[in-house]
Amino acid sequence: MSDILLTNRNSVESILDEPTTISKPSERWRLASATTPFVSTVQPYPFSQTSLNAMVREKNVDQLLEAGGVVGVAGALKTDIGNGIGGAVDDVALRQAAFGSNTYQRPPAKILIHFAVEACKDLTVLVLLLCATLSLGFGIKEQGLKEGWYDSASVFFAVLLVISVSAVSNFWENRQFQRLSKVSNNIKVDVVRNGRRDQQTSIFDIVVGDVVWVQSGDQVPADGLFLDGHSLQVDESSMTGEGGYVEVNSDQNPFLLSGTKVTDGYARMLVTSVGMNTKWGEMMSTISRDTDEQTPLQARLHKLTSSISKVGLAVAFLGLVVLLVRYFTGHTEDENGNQEFIGSKTKAVDMVNSVVRIIEAAVSIVIAAIPEGLSLAVTLILASSMEGMMADQAMVRKLSACEIMGYATTICTDKTGVLTLNQMKVTEFWLGQDPVGVSSSISTNLLNVIHQGVALNTFGSVYRATSRSKFEFSGSPTEKAILSWAVLKLDMDMETLKRSWTILHVEAFNSEKKRSGVSMRSKADNTIHVHWKGAAEMILAMCSSYYDASGSMKDLDDGERMKFKQIIDAMASRSLRCIAFAHKQIPEEEHGIGVGLQKPKEDNLTLIGLVGIEDPCRPGVREAVENCRCARVDVKMITGDNIFIARAIATDCGILRPDQGTTSEVVVEGEVFRKYTREERMEKVDKIRVMARSSPFDKLLMVECLKEKGHVVAVTGDGTNDAPALKEANTGLSMGTQGTQVTKESSDTIILDDNFDSAVRVLRWGRFVHNNIQKFIQLQLTVTLATLVINVVGVVSVHEVPFTMLKLLWLNLILDMLCALALATQQPTKDLMEEPPVSQTQPLITNIMWRNILSQAVYQIAVGLTLNFKGESIFHVNEKVKNTLILNISVLCQVFNLVNAEKPEKKNMFKGMHKNKLFWGITGITVILEVAVVEFFKKFGETERLSWGQWGACMGIAALSWPIGWGVKYIPVWVSRPKFWATQNSNRDPRSKV
């Protein structure tokens, strides 16, 4: 069986030499498909999609052989294996009509009514609805249908508004996740159409019959069959649930399943099933993204809210008991001064009405104590931040990433493509120990060897539509730079070389080996050659000789080796990545059977030459690194490049100062770090700024050490082997352009433009989220503390609550929503990057916040109680107007206090606020709504109209919140700083006065 499949592989290779449309295998497929029961006579493709699906899913080799192997299937699908399908619009549309598109049906998105029902399940809402229902019944009975429904209707309306806002905000957040999910699932793949390899084809645009390139780190985009490739290993655990890697090849297992991950090697595959016709599509169609994830901060807030609620319930229960005892012992009076409860003389209806009013008073205490708007505010702030981060080129995959990045104390970043532009270009070429400028100065034989090493030891490709068209290069940035140099500068003809050689074995490049190799046989003279390329010092260590500029081979002794090392180091010091090429011809006596399947020789090679590749630093990266330094966030560069280029780039980017470059404790190699004892690593890890020649294990080891020392670590990565470090880090950031699919799935956030500056903006957004939530907590607890004390004192002293249910709903919920919206719509400022990180172990309510909360709450309590007991005589008004004044002043105090909360630590609270027009707009709307409630909705709001003088008095009393907020900031408080900050700034006290 393997011989037959091998023959099919050889057929593929012959077709690659001379691309043609296959006919004979197509006949075999027609005969095979004729035996299956679901062949359509209408479709232009002579087979059943059902049987094709079953063949690949079940890995049925016998059925594949009956169809003429992979070549036969390709012929039946009208695919040219070398050039792919034509790619014309009508051809693609015809294939989509016949086999479906590469999309799968998502579970229906949750509609708005779902979130409304969830909001109704809140205990506070249920209690309010119950009380409102009882109030409606007794109100109509006492005052009649015309007047008795006002109070309860107002509560119903307020509760309905609360439910609506909560449902809309959660619905909005869910839609945000749905939108981001579509973006994250839109993977770009390499598809060959009409001979051209397009690297920007959307996975959704793949059709049956397409030829697709896959390599290490990719997710297989559809079901298909292996065409050609080398060392391909696939992780099928996502489909089978079993661990271990499966080798895919032409001999025994040519089947590739959608959704599996390529762990090593590369290959071309023929797509046979897409979308819902794949097992992966069926599985994903039943999975909906979980948007109920709770972030660490939300979990802490839930504990805080629960604690406050328990206190509120306890106080409310005591108040209920006191009121009931007073009532049933005859110590309460009605509006006319008469005793309310007179034993059996009291009517049952009057007694029930009184008890309901007492319960309403107790419920009002609960409402005053429970910060109902807190969870809603957090939802608004997180959802708004997700949208803002997306605009800043950061796509959030996990909600917790919105805040965890704000705690980061260390960022471990890649070099290539993150700190640099990843726009590589060969700027230097050395033959022997001499630089070479033009190909005419290179001997013909040596030039041929160079062409072979570049053209055949690569995953990249070259495409040119016509002789007058420009060349198009595909592959990694390094591959494209080398191919471009070889084609444009050395006149390399890649297609001719491919037709002249047969590839025997390939060692694919990965970040651990840092080199790739190939063994190949010449079709002209049957000789076998080995070519290697990779990190210059590693290839140099494999060589025992070298070619000089004239093409002569010379021995590579220790003296010559040292000269080459100096050349490599000199290029690295100029920030050039140095790639070396090496070659060896296998002696004829070693051509025995099976040599082609052996690993390419790695010793006694001949060094061909060295190329220096320039990859300039990104504009603005130095400023971004400086911003991190100001924010007390340590930036460490971890790269696979050698120590000289790592040091040069780190200095250019500002990670290293010029005087730090020679310090061994600051710049280390991965191997050195790996060999440290555990105690040495823990001692030195804080001082290390650059790790060169690092493996993925070294990166993981550093992350583990930093976390053990108490750091909150953010890691950037783009390669498959970075996945362990991304998962181990507190938050992982993958690169959206160069990052593999495995890397992206291991990360919490995807940086869409691969720019370090975007990662720093995520840091700022994370601090912004934490900062805004703390602002709202300060505002919310001030309202909660003030209204709770005022209501409790009112119940105990005069047996009435100044803040009824409806007033508290307006004050604690509707007002809070507007304040939360005002905070959520802001943008992060540079001030956030001037403070050290906040530790996750620090109290959520800081000493500074307690200072601000208590000062404002004491003032509001003093004003509220004074008005409650003496308001009628001070303002010469009745009780209803007095209660309106209490409500009005409380609302306006929160409006003024919102400005105080904007700058909890800054004495100049207005600095920069004139730029935030949306903030002032929402604040203005809040004031307008308060005016409307007082002046125009007095029946629903339980308020009375106020005169101009009374409005002025309210504004003046509320405005005193500003000078109080300014004055208390002169009171020093101790602020505990994170331990890591104290260790990095040992000359400073970890506590400071603010």
Catalytic residues: 414
Report yes or no: 246 and 179 within 8 Å, Cβ to Cβ. no
Exposed / middle / buried, residue 911 (Cβ in 10 Å: 0-12, 13-18, 19+):
exposed
* Count of C-beta atoms within a 10 Å radius of residue 700: 20
Which two three-digit tokens encode residue 987?
């000359």
Q: What is the length of the chain?
A: 994
Report yes or no: 389 and 768 within 8 Å, Cβ to Cβ. no
C-alpha torsion sign, points 375, 380, 385, 390 = positive
Helix (H) or strand (E) holding 983: helix 979-984
In degrees to the nearest 10, what's the CA dihedral of 448, 451, 455, 456? Answer: 40
Nearest to 765 by CA among 681, 684, 828: 828
Which two three-digit tokens encode residue 199?
């690297």
Nearest to 890 by CA among 921, 865, 915: 865
654: left (phi over 0), alpha (psi -120 to 50) or beta: left
Which two three-digit tokens encode residue 306?
């629960």
Q: What is the DSSP letter of 813?
A: I
Q: Which residues is 541 bridged to in the sheet?
A: none
In angstroms, rounded to a whole number, what is the distance separating the alpha carbons of residues 16 and 769? 56
Report yes or no: 270 and 209 within 8 Å, Cβ to Cβ. yes
Q: Which residues is 581 bridged to in the sheet?
A: 533, 609
Report yes or no: 497 and 457 within 8 Å, Cβ to Cβ. no
Distances in whole angstroms, Cα of residue 323 to Cα of each of 320, 800, 801, 811: 5, 10, 11, 24
DSSP string computed for 88-105: -HHHHHHHHHHH--S--P
Q: Give residue for tokens 């506070």.
A: 124
Nearest to 125 by CA among 117, 113, 136, 114: 117
Report yes or no: 569 and 562 within 8 Å, Cβ to Cβ. no
Distances in whole angstroms, Cα of residue 171 to Cα of each of 163, 399, 510: 12, 15, 43
Which two three-digit tokens encode residue 630?
């100001």
In angstroms, rounded to a whole number, what is the distance separating the alpha carbons of residues 55 and 45? 16
Question: Angle at which helices 879-902 and 961-968 pack, to 10 degrees?
Answer: 40
SS3 at position 754 = coil
